[in-house]
A and B are shown apart, each in its own frame.
Chain A
Amino acid sequence: MISPQQEVIIDVLVDHKPGVLHTVSNLFRRRAFNISSVAIGTSERDRVARMTLTMRGGEKEAVQLVRHLENLVDVIKAEIVDTEKAVVRELALVKIAPKPEDRLQILSFVDVYRAKIVHLSDESIIVEASGDSDKIDAFIELSRSFGLKEVARTGLTALSREQKQNGSQGNDVGW
């Protein structure tokens, strides 16, 4: 049971073709759903893209959103992700311009967060951090005291741990 006003993750498989992002995002706007992130990329199948949506709201709203999504011609399948039974990750790139005396301390907290440094220069450091959203939030919060400059986040993406039944919708791609 999902409590009201929490983040719900929705996994959406869509036909990978021009305009699909427009039709999906138009649905949120038009029906006033509160979407906090969208991550989109290719999937394991040809011509099929996976979108991971995060919405704020209750279960009833999430179920309604799933039904509206499934009515879209380009949507192959939409379902609510059971976060207990899924791996949920987000990736962030965080640019920090620390004072020289803070550099060492940054290296140590990057380690604590199992993040890694992907760019290092005289002026700035870029850290790549991944994990659930709370962890990324915490990492960014901590970075503020060390000269946080810029943040780029991918939004959540998720995969269920269980082997899915591919069932009838298996290769039901495209018009």
Chain B
Amino acid sequence: MEMSGANALIEALRGEKTQTVFGLPGGAIMPVYDVFYKMRDLPSELRIRHVLARHEQSAAHMADGYARASGRVGVCMSTSGPGATNLVTGMATAFMDSSPLVAITGQVARPFIGKDAFQETDIVGVVTSVTKYAFQARNASEIPQIVKSAFRIASTRRPGPVVIDIPRDVQQEMGVVDFTDRPVPKRHGPLPDPDPGIVARMADVLAKAKTPLIIAGGGVRIAEASQELVALAELLMCPVATSLMGKGCIPEDHPLSIGVMGMHGSSETNRIVSSADVLLIVGSRLSDRTTGNINKFCPNSQILCVDTDKAEIEKNKTPTISLVSDAKKALKAIHSDLAKRFAKKPGPHWFQKTKNDIDLSDLRKDGPYLSAVRAIRLLRKLLPRETIVTTEVGQNQMWSLAHFQAYGPRQFITSGGLGTMGFGFPAALGAKVACPDVPVLDIAGDGSFAMTENAMATSIEEQIPVTVVVLNNRMLGMVAQWHRMFYGRRYCGVELGRSPCFPKLAEAYGAAGVGVGDYKELSEAVMNALKSEITTVIDVPVSPEEDAAPMLAPGAGLEEVTIA
């Protein structure tokens, strides 16, 4: 079959069942946009929806939010040069959190490559450190196989972003294309089943453990292994702590869930983790934010480590036993080995969880501010169980970590590894596109939201309604908190002043904007927003002095709480 490179790209995307591309056009990607134009005449099931972003960074975060909410590969698109470099933050974000993303970038025509032509950037070189792989198509014929490979690489084993860079003349040229499936090289295919010998050894240690505990990371969500996780925890009657990326892998109102551990985990959670004699760690790289000071992390515990990426097994902490495996298969195998020994692990229930409720019956406020903590707890009470919540980065994120219970693995979407301010709002839009029937809400801070607020134009024009709750302390709050804690209150570069007025800004975009003065108004605004067909921005005044607590100082061990 002969067709243009641009047509081959769209056909190949269709072959991967891509329904939506988040992008922004420019000179070097115009032949592909011309194919989008021609798709207008096709019946809707053959069309690929293009969602127009207002900045490529947002396009990448939208695709990422789409991927995290659905488990499918998110696709974003940009032109060459600045379009491509604007995607880079989004790719780094997806890379750190192992989110499957395919980014398609236009490139200058082949004769201009290497000549510093207009809008030329060596994007393949630029993204090497923040992608799983980057392709550059050298002719139209190889595009179908490149697209297939890119989707496989992005979504198998440990997922991540992949770039496909296509020179403009390759998009235009006619080529003989072949869309048949070629076998995936074994080394890139699914991992083999978990080694039964290692599984048995792990099961032995867990069976003998007095105070076992499971730490679940983002790998559990990626492997869709929540059920297996909960089943194993119930068999062992052991508590489950999660990393930030694993939040929601066990419903946080489950009696065995002890919430998120680490720098902003509750002291109770961190204490329980520290008193475990055996830790089963599944799909977590044990980042510094999760473990606190790694040298003080559970020094006397036996560590059993399951990860799909063998480079993670000993990177940060050397385990007693390690298993390179898909989390779902591993949890299932360990469960069935243990289930032969007992129906429920005998022995005393070893941990005590205090009821971590805050009384929301009396919601009068003190002074001009609402408490961010109470506002977030109130949101949890108001929002339907299946709601997808995204967060921005900073205090809003850590308050949400501690006070917004997540009930499902794909219901809490946050930039954990890279900590990208501005992620939450476009990610919420992507999540809403993936799950149009589920309410989506972004818990935002004023600093982060301002970074990508122009995605409001996308939400209005493309009719993607979400709710944004801006916890507005007129501060880059987390940095200000560190100023208070470690820099003697010497605030520098953190006071944001009165600009902008978020409700008016929302209205300028055609969205709904509501300023609330108390909890009752907040409740009403949220309930209205959930029913609204347009995006609503709710501005909640919170105190610039409210800390995201508890918190470990950098370098402190899990049991050393700096502020409670």
Contacts of A172 in B (CB 8 A): 185-187
Instruction: Enumerate chain B residues within 8 angstroms of A30, measured Cβ to Cβ.
Output: 129
Residue of B nearest to A69 (CB): B311
Least Cβ–Cβ distance between A175 and chain B, in angstroms:
4
B128 touches A73 (CB 8 A): no
Given contacts A64-B315, A169-B186, contact A70 B128 (CB under 8 A): no
Across the interface, name the chain A residue whose C-beta is closest to B184. Answer: A175
The CA of A47 and the CA of B276, in the complex, are separated in Å by 51
A107 shortest CB reach to chain B, Å: 47
Complex CA gap A79/B28 in Å reads 42
Contact partners of B153 in chain A: CB under 8 A: 73, 175
Interface string of B128-167 (1 = CB under 8 A from A): 1100111010000000010001000100001000000000
Given the contacts A23-B128, A172-B186, A175-B149, A70 and B310 also touching, CB distance less than 8 Å: yes
A175 with B186, Cβ < 8 A, contacts A22-B128, A64-B311, A71-B311 known: no
- How many pairs of residues, A versus B, come closer than 8 Å at their CB atoms? 42
Q: How far, in whole Å, are A105 and B187 apart by their CA atoms in the complex?
A: 55
A68 CB–B CB distance under 8 Å: yes
Do A26 and B187 touch (CB < 8 A)?
Answer: no
Q: From DSSP, what is the main secondary structure of chain B's interface residues? A: helix
Confirm or deny: B309 has a beta carbon within 8 angstroms of a beta carbon on chain A.
yes
Judge whether B489 is part of the interface by a CB distance below 8 angstroms: no
Assuming the A-B contacts A26-B129, A175-B145, A175-B149, are A67 and B310 also in contact, with contact meaning beta carbons closer than 8 angstroms in the complex?
A: yes
> Which of chain B's residues have a CB closer than 8 A to the CB of A168?
186
Q: Is A117 close to B, CB under 8 A?
A: no
- Closest approach, in angstroms, between the C-beta of A19 and any C-beta of chain B? 7
**Quick one: which of A19, A60, A76, A174 has the most chain B CB within 10 A?**
A19
Closest-by-CB residue of A relative to B310 is A67
The bracket for how many chain B residues form the interface is: 20 to 34
> Does A173 interact with chain B (Cβ within 8 Å)?
yes
Smallest Cβ distance from B407 to chain A, in angstroms? Answer: 33
Interface size on A, residues (CB 8 A): 20
Closest partner residue, chain B, to A175 (CB atom): B149
- A76–B188 Cα gap in the complex (Å)? 10
Whether the pair A19, B149 counts as a contact (CB closer than 8 A) is no
- Find chain A residues with CB under 8 A from B132 CB: 73
Of B133, B145, B158, most buried by chain A (CB within 10 Å of CB) is B133
Contact B188 A73 (CB under 8 A): yes
Asked if A175 and B128 make an inter-chain contact with CB atoms under 8 angstroms apart, the answer reads no
| Cβ of B124 under 8 Å from chain A | yes
Q: Mark A151-163, 1 if CB is under 8 A from B, else 0.
A: 0000000000000
Of the candidates B125, B133, B187, which one forms a contact with A76 in the assembled complex, judged by CB atoms under 8 Å apart? Answer: B187
Contact at B309–A73, with CB atoms within 8 Å?
no
B314 within 8 A of A: yes
Residue contact B314 to A60, C-beta cutoff 8 Å: yes
Q: Do residues A22 and B149 form an inter-chain contact, with CB atoms below 8 A? A: no
Given that A60-B314, A175-B149 are contacting pairs, would A26 and B188 also be in contact in the complex, using a CB cutoff of 8 Å?
no
Q: Given the complex of chains A and B, what is the CA–CA distance between A168 and B189 in angstroms? A: 13
Chain A residues whose C-beta falls within 8 Å of the C-beta of B313 in the assembled complex? 67
CB distance from A139 to the nearest CB of B (A): 37
What are the 6 closest A-B residue pairs judged by CB atoms, nearest first? A67-B311, A175-B149, A73-B133, A26-B128, A172-B185, A67-B310
8 contacts across the A-B interface (CB closer than 8 A): A63-B314, A70-B310, A70-B311, A73-B153, A73-B188, A172-B185, A172-B186, A175-B149
11 further A-B pairs in the complex, CB-CB below 8 A; given A70-B311, A71-B311, A172-B187: A19-B134, A19-B136, A26-B128, A64-B314, A67-B313, A73-B153, A169-B186, A173-B185, A174-B185, A175-B153, A175-B185
